Amino acid sequence: MKAKKLSLGHSLVKILVLPFRQVADQNGRLAAVILCMLVANILLASRLAQLHVLHHDFLDKQGKARSVRIVSIPTYRGMITDRKGAPLAISTPMESIWVDPKKLTLTSTQLEKLAELLGTNKQNLIERLAKNKKKSFLYLKRGLPPEESKKITALKLPGVQVMREFKRYYPGGKHTAQLVGYTNIDDMGQAGIEYLYDEALSPVFGKKRVLEDRMGNWISDLEEVSLPKSGENLALTIDLRIQAIALEALEKALEQYEAKAATLVMLDVTNGEVIAMVSAPSYNPNNLHERNTPNARLRALMNQIEPGSTIKPFTMASALESGQFKLDTMIDTHPGRIHVGKFTIKDLRNNGEITLKQVLARSSNVGISKVIFSIPEPAMLDLFSRFGLGTDVYSFPGENSGRLPSPSTHQFVYATHAFGYGLTVNATQLASAYATLANRGIHQSIKLAKNSDMNISQPPKRVLDQQLAENVVEMLQEVTSASGTGRRAHIPGFETAGKTGTIRVVGPNGYDPNRHFALFAGFTPVKKPKFAAVVIIEEPKESRYYGGEVAAPIYAKVVGAALQIMNIPPD
């Protein structure tokens, strides 16, 4: 009975205490949950504080590295013009398509559409992307006109990007191709003026900070880091009109005389500026396939030749400078040949006894030899060097300055040097030497740029006494007189002084009697000289190959046109 009472009391206590215990347990769990949440919030707040305060700079930098990029702001290369501002080389805006192969994810249909607009097929595109999958930058196509790139951007393909670039175009075409040169696909100078003045012509790209998505697609510009600066414009000294006339005349000569090549260089005597520098055949610089051909050579500076009889005025200057000869000094050339050891020097005819002036007018090798044997060869070669023969003209890329020989102890070799064999020059050197004679002995540096700070030049200097130069000029006038070998160089209304030259070409077995170069070098007018020019016709057909017959008429035509274009009054 007592046990029952205890059991009943115990049960009653459990009934009364249980609700309070349940409440306590619930409150404990709630407190535990609240405590856990409080601790979690404290830890989260601490972590946020740590990230925003202690690691802010690092995380900001890392975040921007994944979403903010610094990209280039392209600008254009400097323009090249002629002396009057006619464009010879300009940069036109083009666009290039590029991707990041690591991020690119296109569907089969998208790849097919993209390949079609790129001018290829889907399989080739897939193979190319697979081959470069480790790269983060890959050009798909460069140099697209904007209207073509718009067709690609219209597809809105994720990860396919467009970059603005510039492509070089040459309005001067074949008329200035060899002189101006060209650039590569990255718009860097590779030849000619483009290469020589690459640093000045090249632009400095700007930089800006842009926001991109995870695929590399541009979202917006953030700020400019640096401003772009276009390349410096360059005005050349040449006249495009005269270049065109010169090339046309040379091309006609190639056809008429079945010649291999032809070159013309024209200088302004008063300041050394190059007015025309052209070779035929030429090429189209806008056609990539024509750039690596022999026609791309600037023969006026790159090709060396033996000057032949065109060197004789400088030989005569050396004779006059020795003090042993005057214009009326008589030279006996009878019987039209002279034996020097086992060699024979010949004239085309027996000129008999003639004056020093007539020796040059009749281009007598016998007369020249007899004159020069009285002068030490070092003195003659020194005079050649003073006139700029055998030295660099302009440090032009690919320029070949030729070679002056060492003095020879053999009289025959010395004689050949005196009438233009055994030494080499380029056409521009020869034109510069004649310009120095026209200037009455004052040598001017060659100038290719109208921008004075861009020219590689030295101040004018006297290299020959003025009166001696006057005497040589008087001799050269005789050459272009009605009875001279250069009479076809005559320009109506103007006096011309000059010299013809006909050179045998060196072959595998020595000088080839059936291959020649025809030359004429001179200047016009005589009293107030304006232009000096050299014309070279390489290997015309053997029925007509003399310099006076082939090269002199081209001089008259081109220089005559230049005198009209520049409004030079007649003598």
Stretch 541-569: mean pLDDT = 95
Which pLDDT belongs to residue 249? 98
Q: Could you tell me what percent of the chain has a pLDDT over 90?
A: 61
The more confident residue out of 118 and 516 is 516
The more confident residue out of 42 and 489 is 489
Q: Are 401 and 486 found together in one domain?
A: yes
Cα–Cα nearest to 178, from 195, 192, 199, 165: 192
62 pLDDT above the threshold of 90: no
Q: Are 216 and 89 found together in one domain?
A: yes
Q: Are 398 and 496 found together in one domain?
A: yes
Stretch 458-463: mean pLDDT = 93
Q: Are 315 and 228 found together in one domain?
A: no
Confidence of residue 516 (pLDDT cuts 50, 70, 90): very high
Cα–Cα nearest to 566, from 260, 330, 264, 239: 239
96 pLDDT above the threshold of 70: yes
pLDDT digits 0-9 by tens, 66-76: 567 676 677 88
Spatial neighbors of 124 by CB under 8 A, at least 6 apart, are 115
Q: What whole-number distance in Å separates Cα of residue 176 and Cα of residue 181? A: 8
pLDDT digits 0-9 by tens, 282-337: 999 999 899 989 999 999 999 999 999 999 999 999 999 999 999 999 999 999 99
CATH of the domain at 356: 3.40.710.10
Q: Are 409 and 514 found together in one domain?
A: yes
Q: Are 98 and 192 found together in one domain?
A: yes
Domain assignment present for 513 = yes
CB–CB of 426/388 below 8 Å? no
In the block, residue with structure tokens 């990860």: 159
The number of domains in the chain is 2
Which pLDDT belongs to residue 383? 97
In our burial notation (b when 16+ CB lie closer than 10 A, e otherwise), range 50-69 reads eeeeeeeeeeeeeeeeeebe
Which pLDDT belongs to residue 114? 87
Side chain identity, residue 23: V
DSSP character for 135? -
Domain assignment present for 255 = no
Q: Are 190 and 334 found together in one domain?
A: no
Domain ranges, residue 462: 303-530
CB–CB of 304/424 below 8 Å? yes
What does residue 238 show for φ and ψ, rounded to 5 degrees?
Answer: -70, 160
Has 309 been annotated as catalytic? yes
Q: Are 490 and 404 found together in one domain?
A: yes
Cα–Cα nearest to 484, from 364, 317, 333: 364
Confidence of residue 417 (pLDDT cuts 50, 70, 90): very high
368 pLDDT above the threshold of 90: yes
Domain assignment present for 425 = yes
Spatial neighbors of 509 by CB under 8 A, at least 6 apart, are none
Mean pLDDT of the chain: 88
Q: What whole-number distance in Å separates Cα of residue 404 and Cα of residue 389? A: 7
pLDDT digits 0-9 by tens, 312-325: 999 999 999 999 99
Q: Are 353 and 489 found together in one domain?
A: yes
Which pLDDT belongs to residue 552? 97
Stretch 399-427: mean pLDDT = 94
Stretch 191-211: mean pLDDT = 87
CATH of the domain at 144: 3.90.1310.10
515 pLDDT above the threshold of 90: yes
Stretch 250-260: mean pLDDT = 97
Q: Are 79 and 218 found together in one domain?
A: yes
Say which range, 90-104, 164-178, 514-528, 540-554, has the weakest mean pLDDT.
Answer: 90-104
Cα–Cα nearest to 535, from 256, 176, 173, 267: 267
Residue where a domain stops, chosen among 235, 257, 275? 235
Catalytic residue among 282, 309, 364, 369: 309
15 pLDDT above the threshold of 70: no
Which pLDDT belongs to residue 470? 97
